[in-house]
Structure 1
Amino acid sequence: MPLNPPPWTFKDCEIHDASEQAALQRWLPLSCRQISSGRFLGHYREVDLGSFLLVNECQNQDVVKSAVTPQGVCTLSFIANEHNLERFSQYRGSSKSALYLLPADTEADILAPKDIETIYVKLSQDVLMEKLRTVNEPFFQLNPHFLQVFQGAKHIEKLTESVRVMQFLASQTINTQDLLKMRKPFLDQLVLAVDACDSVIGGNALDMEDWYRRSYIITQAKHYIDECLHKGENVSVVDLCEYFQVSARTLQYYFQVEYGLTPISYIRIERLNRARADLLNPVRSDVTVTEIATQWGFYHLSQFSKDYFSFFGEKPSQTLGNALG
């Protein structure tokens, strides 16, 4: 007689491309791009317990993640090792002692450095806020529509330890009740960790007016670059300056602050990532590296192969060959 499946799902995946990291998180429309050079290797663990979702991820390259949370759900995230998060939307350089509340229907842009290990919990925003208001009346005043950063969290290590235990139990086919019994205590532990924080937002926020303008230009520039690339059109810094009526120096400053890259480098990395996506997922069995490279504006094939190898740690022919089997 077959055993009943456990009342949760568990994923434990080694990943070899930033796009895989995004694809695994099916609940969220997420874009994930590698922006540092080297062969990508990451690890993704997920425990879906119905009432909430636990996600633990890390990678050996710098990545940029962009997403908008769906209506009704929020995430609480924290850093599980000794690395600092480079940037979470408008907040920079926050440390392991911070909890990040990303509300429902909110855009996020994250610059995650290599080797950082992050954990987030996805759950109903109404459920979380009700619990927070139960333990602390001032939370009645909190109706988040933007990213909230809770500074001075004192129980990150205990939260991380609980996540490790739940991941272990989820990986087993026995002791199902042990994991289910941990759901409520873990949520309570999460709420108490938020309540014990020293301050909300704190002093790490950038000047908001400057950030809003920079964020708007960067977001629109990314959309403009995306449209041009999909049309097969080359896009230059001059095009961006003309379209947004900003100087090249301003544009360079914005990209440097947000991503640590020049606009030209960002566009080149976007083209390389899109070429890699097509090499990893060939549309035909007879598709060639040349066809894919030229589609994304790489017309000097020897230089494309060098750049691709330098950035991803393997030749484009290897990527395509492995995908075709």
Structure 2
Amino acid sequence: MNSCETSHSDSSPVRELRFADCDQLSELVTSGDIEFIQLGAGPCQASMMRIDLDGFYMLLTDVPNRTAIHAASQKDLRVIHIPLRWTGSLHWNGRIVDRSGLIVWGDSCDYTRVGEDVRTVALLIDESLLRERIEAWLPSSHSLWDSLDGHMLADTPASRHFGQVAEWVLGLALQRSESLAVPAVRAQLSERLLLALANAVNAQEESAVLGCPTARHRGRIVRQMTDYLHAHPNRTMELSDLCQLTGYSARSIAHACQTVLETSPIRYLKPLRLNQARILLREGSHDSTTVSQCAHFAGFSHFGRFAADYRRMFGESPSKTLERCM
């Protein structure tokens, strides 16, 4: 199997891609800085469907393996996430999501989720377009919309209805994708979705918004630590080094990693470097790239242990990855 297989043409409003490497999922996302990091052992075989509607789009993501997803820098973009299914634990910035149908709301979405056999749908829409359309139907105060940034909406009939509408649109895209090529159909679907979203948001005035003041802070700690580890793959790292470099205490870093990633900072280092080695192998050149070079650059000094850990993590040898992607 190639790294990426497309089942719809690029000009279609419905595009579905299947991946052997979860980090390639970001290829369907046009905004923001999104990183997928495989944590569980075994082939990833992830997929993502992008559905272009009237001025915004939806993403349906299936990731069978345990994976962490970091997303940030999505300026002026509203992202509404609906977890549809998962097994094991699903965390959002360290907050355990214990039921489906909750909507994660945010315009900078600095979050991490961990789980197995995870399916989520997300709406991505420009902030100004969202306010213009929704407030024409159901006038809402700007303070209400702003207060929902980085929170999960309460589980109300209106929020559940919005999730049902989103799943209905997905079903239509899967079964009758040709109908979405008609502008009038896309406009009708867009209006129905946004009206359901407006009702879900307005319902929060009478319900508690499920938020955690420290949740996004934990996600940002992990993000900052991950960025530094990516930038210095060859450096031997201890927890004291991470404290000095990030400015956080050992307790804060350890707690953030445990709640967000379900592991310690140092144990997180190995899968992170293995993912980095896989990216280097996948993007390598037939003439100049070798497995040992990629292993060394990702911070592995013992080639034999690297090859064994790599096979255990991804279900294939590093040389197979290099051969498959050339």
TM-score range, shorter chain: 0.7 to 0.9
SS of residue matched to 1:11:
strand
CA contact (8 A) 1:40 1:312 kept: yes
SS at match of 2:74: coil
Bigger Cα displacement from structure 2, 296-305 vs 6-15: 6-15
Task: Give the distance between the partners of 1:82 and 1:107, measured in 2 at CA.
Answer: 20
Determine whether 1:49 maps to 2:41.
Answer: no
Classify 1:244/1:141 alpha carbon distance in 2 versus 1 (closer, same or farther; 3 Å).
Answer: closer
In the TM superposition, what is the alpha-carbon distance from 1:158 to its structure 2 partner? Answer: 3.3
In structure 2, the residue matched to 1:272 is 274
Asked if 1:225 is matched to 2:233, the reply is no
Q: What is the TM-score with the length of structure 1 in the denominator?
A: 0.83
* Distance in 2 of aligned mates of 1:186 and 1:212: 27
Among candidates 191, 194, 198, match of residue 198 of structure 2? 191
What do residues 230-263 of structure 1 show as CA deviations (whole Å, max 9, x unaligned)?
Answer: xx32323242244456665553333111211111
- Aligned residues between the structures: 312
Match status 1:99 vs 2:106: no
Between 240-249 and 67-76, report the one with greater CA deviation.
240-249
Alignment-derived partner of residue 118 in structure 2: 116
Structure-2-length-normalised TM-score? 0.83
Aligned pairs for 1:1-325 within 5 A: 9-81=13-85, 86-89=90-93, 91-103=95-107, 106-133=108-135, 139-144=141-146, 146-152=149-155, 153-155=159-161, 156-171=163-178, 177-196=184-203, 199-202=207-210, 205-206=211-212, 208=213, 210-211=214-215, 214-229=218-233, 232-244=234-246, 248=250, 251-324=253-326
Which amino acid counterpart does residue 201 of structure 1 have in structure 2? V
| In structure 2, C-alpha distance between the alignment counterparts of 1:303 and 1:126, rounded to whole Å | 51
Shift of residue 278, structure 1, vs aligned partner: 0.8
Instruction: Note if contact 1:84-1:96 (Cα within 8 Å) is conserved in structure 2.
Output: no
In the alignment, residue 142 of structure 1 is paired with which amino acid? L
How far has the Cα of 1:196 moved from its partner? 4.2
Alpha-carbon shift at residue 8 of structure 1 (Å) = 5.5
| Contact 1:280–1:323 under 8 Å retained in 2 | yes
Task: Give me the whole-angstrom Cα distance separating, in 2, the residues matched to 1:6 and 1:242.
Answer: 46
Quote the Cα distance in structure 2 between the aligned partners of 1:258 and 1:189. 31
CA–CA separation in structure 2 for the residues paired with 1:52 and 1:174: 14
Report the secondary structure of 1:56's partner residue: strand
Mapped partners of 1:190, 1:46: distance in 2 = 19
Which structure 2 segments of 5+ residues have no match?
1-8
- In terms of mean alpha carbon deviation, does 304-313 or 144-153 score higher? 144-153
Distance, in Å, in 2 between the alignment partners of 1:318 and 1:213 is 39
Question: Is the Cα contact below 8 Å between 2:134 and 2:195 reproduced in 1?
Answer: no
Q: Percent identity?
A: 18
1:66: Cα distance to partner?
1.6
CA contact (8 A) 2:237 2:266 kept: no
Distance 1:172 1:6 in 2: 16
Q: Which amino acid aligns with 1:154?
A: R
Pick closer, same or farther for the CA change 1:25–1:228 going to 2, 3 Å: same
User: How many Å separate the matches in 2 of 1:246 and 1:142?
Assistant: 32
